[in-house]
């Protein structure tokens, strides 16, 4: 069985190869280790292998891991799960990135709860790119107004867009979904340049990261390829 360190090396080489083949600059794509349901020991092993960015979906689980790994320097914590209004205070005070903002109410609360002495909280807007009823995220048509409104909020840095396309669609349809998100970001950068850096596309996972990188991903969110398959829910 491959170690987590071996898996990180393998995924890193995949990212580097895809980045080069897409004609993009080395280092243009970063690896976010999706560590939900994984024990702190797995994260520590990954950190020892050089991985510093971890994405968590569940707040209390994340807080427990952050406490368990408080002795590990330079870990960058990203919140990537659905956000309840009553969780925004702890998310805003604990994480450096939030990839899953999908409405103004949540952005406003994150802004209000972010300590102004901390660096601005990096946020991405989650887009329901395939308009699936079961998925979180705003619709593409809502993006311009949402970006304009969030761009006015203090203590936030609007970095870009995130999406989780339907993984069961054919590769070409998946590519079109990624391209649609990339085109939307490009349009926003042109139409609303003052809203934020708008330099980030959080898209692509273990099975489709190469396609996502070809279409402009800057963060790929990888879990099973690093840590192995998750155990079935009890």
In this predicted model, what pLDDT tens digit does every residue of 74-119 receive, in sequence order? 999 999 999 999 999 999 999 999 999 999 999 999 999 999 999 9
Give the mean pLDDT of 49-69.
98
Domain at 4-226, CATH class: alpha beta
Give the mean pLDDT of 160-167.
94
Rounded to whole angstroms, how far apart are CA atoms 92 and 113?
Answer: 6
- Given a cut of 70, whether residue 233 has pLDDT beyond it is no
> What Å distances lie between residue 140 and 15, 42, 59, 155, 187, CA to CA?
28, 36, 27, 25, 11
- Given a cut of 90, whether residue 9 has pLDDT beyond it is yes
- Given a cut of 70, whether residue 232 has pLDDT beyond it is no
* Confidence at residue 76, expressed as pLDDT on a 0 to 100 scale: 98
* Confidence at residue 33, expressed as pLDDT on a 0 to 100 scale: 98
* Confidence at residue 4, expressed as pLDDT on a 0 to 100 scale: 97
Give the mean pLDDT of 191-204.
97
Domain assignments of the chain as residue spans, ordered by start: 4-226
- Given a cut of 60, whether residue 170 has pLDDT beyond it is yes
CA 148 to chain centre: 21
* Confidence at residue 75, expressed as pLDDT on a 0 to 100 scale: 97
Rounded to whole angstroms, how far apart are CA atoms 201 and 68?
Answer: 30
């Amino acid at each position: 069985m491959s170690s987590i360190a071996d898996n990180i090396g393998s995924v890193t080489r995949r990212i580097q190869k895809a980045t080069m083949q897409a004609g993009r600059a080395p280092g243009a794509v970063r690896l976010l280790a999706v560590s939900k349901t994984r024990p702190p020991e797995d994260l520590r092993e990954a950190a020892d292998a050089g991985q510093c960015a971890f994405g968590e979906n569940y707040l209390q689980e994340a807080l427990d891991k952050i406490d368990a790994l408080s002795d590990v320097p330079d870990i960058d914590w990203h919140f990537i799960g659905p956000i309840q209004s009553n969780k925004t205070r702890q998310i805003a005070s604990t994480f450096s990135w939030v990839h899953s903002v999908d409405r103004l109410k949540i952005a406003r609360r994150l802004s209000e709860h972010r300590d102004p002495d901390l660096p601005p909280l990096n946020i991405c807007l989650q887009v329901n790119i395939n308009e699936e009823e079961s998925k979180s995220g705003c619709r593409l048509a809502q993006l311009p107004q949402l970006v304009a409104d969030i761009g006015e909020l203090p203590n936030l840095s609007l970095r870009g867009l995130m999406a989780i396309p339907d993984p069961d669609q054919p590769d070409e349809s998946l590519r079109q979904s990624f391209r649609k998100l990339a085109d939307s970001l490009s349009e926003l950068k042109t139409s609303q340049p003052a809203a934020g850096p708008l330099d980030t596309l959080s898209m692509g996972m273990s099975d489709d990261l190469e396609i996502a990188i070809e279409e402009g991903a800057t963060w790929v969110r990888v879990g099973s390829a690093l840590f192995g398959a998750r155990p079935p829910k009890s």
